Structure 1
Amino acid sequence: METAFTRLVGVRCPIVQTGMGWVAGPRLVSAVANAGALGVLASATMTVDGLREAIREVKSRTDAPFGVNLRADARDAGDRVRVMVDEGVRVASFALAPSRELIAELKESGVVVIPSVGARRHAEKVVAWGADAVLVQGGEGGGHTGEVATTVLLPQVVDAVDVPVVAAGGFFDGRGLVAALAYGAAGVAMGTRFLLTSDSTVPDAVKARYLAATVRDVTVTRAVDGLPHRMLRTELVESLERSGRVRALSRAVRHAARFRRLSGLGWGEMVREGLALRHGKDLSWSQVLLAANTPMLLRSAMVDGRTDLGVMAAGQVAGVIEDLPSCAELVERLLDEARAAVGALPVSGGSGVA
């Protein structure tokens, strides 16, 4: 299924697996790439050396193109870009808008730049700076999210920019792919759907928790880090929402200490990162600490399998997903469903669309 996006990045299918921290590792990314879609490594939870190792592992498993997701505000973003360029990574994606200079550096090295955006004006800005495509996430998407639904946000962005647009937030089957293409997108991106595959390294107990969820079990909360965050409603989330400031601060300090040991960051670095996150936002200090070490909360669930101690980012589609196919099975299923959906459209006659 060829689109402007598949031509841009060199994949067979207009489908992207998003860069989910602790989830989008070499095994999942290579499985997605081998299935013909674009797999994206999540680098924010890796050291620079760990990123290089992960890239090389993906390359040992597949010859297909893949990408790396970067934090544009990371102090070592330049080092990570150099690793990507040295290792021949085809695509760079960003959760936050990269600077004009970072986009230029990547493009000069032949890397395709695809920032994620949550508003029309953000898309216009990064495209003016040279972005090759944009990924548009509506409010249905997991993790940090906005308030505007994909069906409203997507056509705004498609009408505003002249580069391929990838739609994210609320996609899990071939009907959604066709709908996105009808809106003018050149593909779809999915996180939760790829998390819930047999190729995902997420522990079985965590996958079972996702599969048991209904759409009412997926919530948006500010209790974790002060920003709107879509995730499964768990005991931890409910506890954070009930906690007073003293109890929340104590919990945050404990999590911060664990993240410090894991990441190797000094307390000074964590405080500076927390201050940067607090700037311009009405966050309590407990939220600042939690925001600085949210990766630790994700790791507790996604790596350690502790659904009681971790958070589980989830798109609303978690409430309608019921199985764990392989990535190859999932991609082929989506393409078959898309073809069937197109074939079933009433394109002429009767009360159908002419």
Structure 2
Amino acid sequence: MSRAADRLTRFRGRLELPLIAAPMFLVSGVDLVAAACANGVIGSFPTVNCRTTEQLEAWLTSIAQRLATLEQTSGKAAAPWCPNLIVHRSNARLADDLAVLLMHRPEIVITSVGSPEPVIKQLHDIGTMVLADVASIRHAERAVAAGADGLVLLTAGAGGQTGWLNPFAFVRAVRQFFDGVVVLAGGVSDGVALRAAMTLGCDLAYMGTKFIATQESAADPRYKAMLVDSSADDILLTKAFTGLQTSMLRPSIVAAGLDPDDLPQRGAIDIGKDIDIGARESRPQRWRDIWSAGHSTSGVGGIVPIADLVKQTVSEFRSAG
């Protein structure tokens, strides 16, 4: 048995699919996470989606209660829930959020925007599997050296702040030096793509964009409708909004009164800096008014319950086997 297979054994029987509902800023909330887990998909969310550490505590309590009720009534164990910690020094709440997670003892935690080293020992001490978000071979090697149990490979075509490496090349390069858990992030739009990721050498994959267009997602209804009406041709890769390569929806840029073909080269648009999630200013803000999506936008055919999305993906995955 490989190291990856051994580490996933403890919850494989609770998964309908080898899939993580990706952690999405301002989109992944209690309803999405609980519904994903209830339907056999790992439900993840950025802890910064909570306005405060106290709200994070409330979210985790609510998720745990919902899933406990489900397990009692159905007799079926839910998939794990999975917080996503921003470990960069700019996250002033990191220590407080980590303390809450340690109290709730998640089975899996994803770390992003930096090395998992600052949090990995404490999470390992409570038996948590740590998956590190990486976008390059060098960062993958550093995460492995820090002791990460798995790597989330952010590849070209992912929504939001995206990767740039081809998924085929990235996965195979990582598999040359790492036998832990590998998660593919970027472009997984259905069960066929998920099966291909497994063939490539992955253990799990992210699906993000299609979960935005679900009834349980916290996304603006206009955002969901825009995904239904858009395709991969409507995704613009730009540094104009964040200073980093980011996949954004062209129609949302137009709706904000900007020309997607005439944007500054790098992070020059002043549309609000670090976003106050509770703020509702009149000027457009990235993420809130200018929306992200991945290349899998072409796979979004409607706004559906998560149960229906998972059922369809399961059918596609099995047929592709």
Same fold by TM-score greater than 0.5: yes
More helix by share: 1
Residue 347 of structure 1 corresponds to none
Cα distance, 1:6 vs structure 2 = 4.3
With structure 1 as the length reference, what TM-score do the two structures score? 0.76
The residue type paired with residue 86 of structure 1 is M
- The 5-angstrom pairing of residues 83-122 of structure 1 reads 83-122=100-139
Correspondence 1:165 to 2:188: no
With structure 2 as the length reference, what TM-score do the two structures score? 0.84
Asked if the contact 2:159–2:209 (Cα under 8 Å) also holds between the matched residues in 1, the reply is yes
Rg larger in 1 or in 2?
1
Q: 1:182 to 1:244 in 2, by over 3 A?
A: closer
Partner secondary structure for residue 101 of structure 2: helix
Q: 1:221 to 1:66 in 2, by over 3 A?
A: same
Cα distance, 1:35 vs structure 2 = 0.5
Cα distance, 1:243 vs structure 2 = 6.4
Residue 72 of structure 1 corresponds to 87
- The 5-angstrom pairing of residues 1-354 of structure 1 reads 4=5, 6-7=8-9, 9=11, 11-12=14-15, 13-46=17-50, 47-63=52-68, 64=78, 65-73=80-88, 74-233=91-250, 234-235=253-254, 236=256, 238-239=258-259, 242=262, 251-252=270-271, 255-256=272-273, 259=275, 262=278, 297-298=286-287, 300=288, 310-342=289-321
Structure 1 runs of 4+ aligned residues shifted over 6 Å read none
Q: In the comparison of the two structures, how many residue pairs are matched? A: 293
The residue type paired with residue 298 of structure 2 is G
Q: 1:164 to 1:243 in 2, by over 3 A?
A: closer
Asked if the contact 1:113–1:131 (Cα under 8 Å) also holds between the matched residues in 2, the reply is yes
Partner secondary structure for residue 156 of structure 2: coil
Q: 1:220 to 1:183 in 2, by over 3 A?
A: same
The residue type paired with residue 24 of structure 1 is S
For 1:177 and 1:22, locate their aligned partners in 2 and report how far apart those are by CA, in whole Å.
25
Q: 1:203 to 1:261 in 2, by over 3 A?
A: closer
The residue type paired with residue 71 of structure 1 is I
For 2:179 and 2:97, locate their aligned partners in 1 and report how far apart those are by CA, in whole Å.
28
Q: 1:66 to 1:244 in 2, by over 3 A?
A: closer
For 2:205 and 2:257, locate their aligned partners in 1 and report how far apart those are by CA, in whole Å.
29
For 2:231 and 2:93, locate their aligned partners in 1 and report how far apart those are by CA, in whole Å.
39
Q: CA RMSD for the aligned pairs?
A: 2.4
Asked if the contact 2:186–2:294 (Cα under 8 Å) also holds between the matched residues in 1, the reply is yes
Cα distance, 1:134 vs structure 2 = 1.1
Which deviates the most, 231-240 or 183-192? 231-240
Cα distance, 1:314 vs structure 2 = 0.5
> Structure 2, unaligned stretches of length 5 or more?
69-77
Deviations 1:202-238 (A, max 9, x none): 2322211111112211110111022111010122384
Asked if the contact 2:111–2:132 (Cα under 8 Å) also holds between the matched residues in 1, the reply is yes
Cα distance, 1:120 vs structure 2 = 2.1
For 2:293 and 2:233, locate their aligned partners in 1 and report how far apart those are by CA, in whole Å.
12
Which deviates the most, 220-229 or 87-96? 87-96
For 1:139 and 1:237, locate their aligned partners in 2 and report how far apart those are by CA, in whole Å.
27
Deviations 1:55-101 (A, max 9, x none): 11111211432010111011221211110111222211122233423
Q: 1:133 to 1:260 in 2, by over 3 A?
A: closer
Deviations 1:34-64 (A, max 9, x none): 0111001221232211111111111121143
Cα distance, 1:324 vs structure 2 = 2.4
For 1:31 and 1:318, locate their aligned partners in 2 and report how far apart those are by CA, in whole Å.
21
Q: 1:182 to 1:240 in 2, by over 3 A?
A: closer
Asked if the contact 1:118–1:138 (Cα under 8 Å) also holds between the matched residues in 2, the reply is yes
Deviations 1:164-219 (A, max 9, x none): 10111010111111101111111211111111112213232221111111221111
Asked if the contact 2:153–2:184 (Cα under 8 Å) also holds between the matched residues in 1, the reply is yes
Asked if the contact 2:210–2:299 (Cα under 8 Å) also holds between the matched residues in 1, the reply is no
Deviations 1:96-124 (A, max 9, x none): 23342311111112221111111222222
